[in-house]
Structure 1
Amino acid sequence: MARLLADEQFPRHAVELLRTFGHDVLTIQEAGKAGISDDMVLDFATLENRAVLTINRRDFFKLHKIKPDHAGIIACKDDLVWNRLATNINTVIFPESTLTGKVFRVNRFSSTTA
């Protein structure tokens, strides 16, 4: 299962559901890093070998271009149906042997690897 870091705005309910799927999910708040910038979130996730879970898609797409050597970015559309969000994330990352350097786009009804 994947090692993930949920950024500050990522829904806590989706984090809990991802944990029930067996993923090792740490929130930025649990790490004691609340309030840090997006580039620092990506750096911390990379240091901890965790892919970033975010709904801040635009900023993390830009960061991927600047810092492509990361542990993965899972950029999600904001979805208030947390079960669907967590299930879509799991569906996208489950078959992957590694998330390193990849960007995953998770939408409400379809998902892709960029």
Structure 2
Amino acid sequence: MARLYADEQFPRDVSEQLRTMGHDVLTVQEAGNANLGIPDEEVLAFAVSNNRIVITLNRQDFIRLHRINPEHSGIIVCTNDLNRPRMATRINEAIAAEESLAGKLIRVIRPSR
């Protein structure tokens, strides 16, 4: 399973559901006060230094960061889905579909209604 780093705005309940699916999820809040409110570049740098995949709702900024430097453990950008179990399942499926997420940008998009 994947070692994930959930940024500040990522839904806590989705992080918890991903844990029940076997993923190792560290949230910005759990990483300590030094990580709260830091710029996205530092979020990615922390994830890289800890060999974790960033998981975020902040699509635009992290897509930009991926384009600038694709040398990372992986970035998963998601559209927000209020159906949290479905969101966690879709993320889990996206992770399972890849042999390795290193250097990859994965998009998990909420299904249209």
Normalised by the length of structure 1, the TM-score is: 0.93
Distance 1:96 1:52 in 2: 15
Distance 2:40 2:7 in 1: 8
Could you tell me how far 1:80 is from its partner in structure 2? 1.2
Q: Which amino acid aligns with 1:6?
A: A
Give the aligned partner of residue 62 of structure 1. 64
The one-character-per-residue Cα deviations of 1:47-84 (angstroms, maximum 9, x if unpaired) are: 11100000000000000011210010000001111101
Runs of 4+ aligned residues of structure 1 deviating over 4 Å after TM superposition are none
The gaps in structure 2 that reach 5 residues or longer are: none
Distance 1:41 1:92 in 2: 21
- Identity level (%): 59
Distance 2:51 2:99 in 1: 14
Distance 2:12 2:71 in 1: 27
| 1:71 and 2:70 correspond | no
3-12 or 90-99: bigger deviation:
90-99
Q: Which one has the bigger helix percentage?
A: 2
Aligned residue pairs total 110
Q: Which amino acid aligns with 1:8?
A: E
Could you tell me how far 1:95 is from its partner in structure 2? 3.0
Give the aligned partner of residue 8 of structure 2. 8
Q: Which amino acid aligns with 2:3?
A: R
The gaps in structure 1 that reach 5 residues or longer are: none
| 1:108 and 2:110 correspond | yes
Distance 2:24 2:101 in 1: 14
Could you tell me how far 1:22 is from its partner in structure 2? 0.1
Could you tell me how far 1:98 is from its partner in structure 2? 1.1
Distance 2:29 2:39 in 1: 13
Normalised by the length of structure 2, the TM-score is: 0.94
Distance 2:41 2:83 in 1: 28
